Amino acid sequence: MNASTNSPPSFKRALRMIWLQSGGCGGCTLSLLGAEGPDLVTSLEAAGIEILWHPSLSEMSGRDCVGLMERLASGEEAFDILCLEGSVMCGPGGTGRFHMMAGTDRPVMSWIEDLARRASFVVAVGSCAAFGGITAAGDNHAEACGLAYDGKSPGGLLGSDFRSGAGLPVINIAGCPIHPGWLVEVLHLIGAGRFSAADLDEWERPLAYTTHLVHHGCARNEFYEFKASAEKLCERGCMMENLGCKGTQARADCNIRAWNGSGSCIDGGYPCINCTAPGFEEPGHPFATTPKISGIPIGLPTDMPKAWFVALAALSKAATPSRLRDNATAELLKVPPSNRQKKGS
């Protein structure tokens, strides 16, 4: 398959996938194992995906694993999909020797690059693999980066001009961790021959989840509408004004596509930190704090002019029902909605 192909490839056989882990915590794999309706194994079987090797899920190890990687990297044995979880560790001094592949004298960075050149599809699983993520925070002595981005800058290990065998850039399934559905959905589309560059946003993230904001479907939206704000964690009000919530800016469907069948970070009482975005790991302030200038939050909702927000916020606060004002700073909802039409209420 060459880079000039205009339509997605269609597969009549099982797609062969290899999964590498580099600089990260393995949290995306842990999240993926929580896939429900159906479970992960059933989902991969339905998508026609054969896992050649995964460091946490496969029995193969040692020389057998190295032998497989050598055959794949040389082209002796064909495969279709390379998934990388965790950032690429390029230090020290660009040598990659901070992270060596066991049983070889080669950095994992080198293996990733060789395998990426042979793959029809290259998938960055999580924000670390996509942009560098948490591993690249701070002084980044490990020289951690993503596959095609170094933070917000194009580059990374493969460079912004990289195209896989199917003619696609690196598919960045960003998140910390990812929702299992985000990856499974992409794999199903690839298996059906229906995934193309038109399915990616400006950061090469799948539009299937980045056409939404985390704000969509948030259980605290009524508090947001009236700017009835929580003042500390565990209170029920909106967390945007005081507690750093970026749900009105974050591109993901976390409150629509429930995690573990039940909820999201916000449902768990913690503000959204916009973990699908490059650079989320260094916001310049504590995650649970909203920076303000003259009392106005710096991180305003996406696409909203500052003057509009100030005007609407003032009007909303003036119209806030006492029920919302009381519940916003409570740890449990205390005041239920009332029915004005029922006598005696």
Half-sphere exposure of 37 (CA within 13 A, CB side): 7
Q: Is residue 57 within 8 Å of residue 93, measured between CB atoms?
A: no
Which pair of tokens denotes residue 2? 């060459």
Q: Which helix (H) or strand (E) holds 50?
A: strand 49-53
Predicted confidence (pLDDT) at residue 10 exceeds the cutoff of 90: no
Fold that domain 213-331 belongs to in CATH: Cytochrome-c3 Hydrogenase; Chain A, domain 2 (4.10.480)
Domain ranges of the chain: 15-210, 213-331
Rounded Cα gap, residues 203 and 303, in angstroms = 18
pLDDT, tens digit (0-9, with 9 covering 90-100), for 144-166: 999 999 999 999 999 999 999 99
Alpha carbon distance 42, 254 (integer Å): 23
Cα distance between residue 205 and residue 200, in whole Å: 5
Tell me the sheet residues that pair with 238. Answer: 229
Residue at token pair 């005696």: 344
Residue 311 backbone dihedrals phi, psi, to 5 degrees: -65, -45
In this prediction the pTM is 0.90
- Tell me the per-residue pLDDT of 189-215, one tens digit each, with 9 for 90 and over: 999 999 999 999 999 999 999 999 999
CATH class of the domain whose range is 15-210: alpha beta
Question: Taking CA 33 as the corner, what is the angle to CA 182 and CA 64, rounded to the nearest 5 degrees?
Answer: 105
Nearest to 79 by CA among 23, 129, 20, 135: 20
Confidence class of residue 3 from pLDDT cuts 50, 70 and 90?
Answer: very low
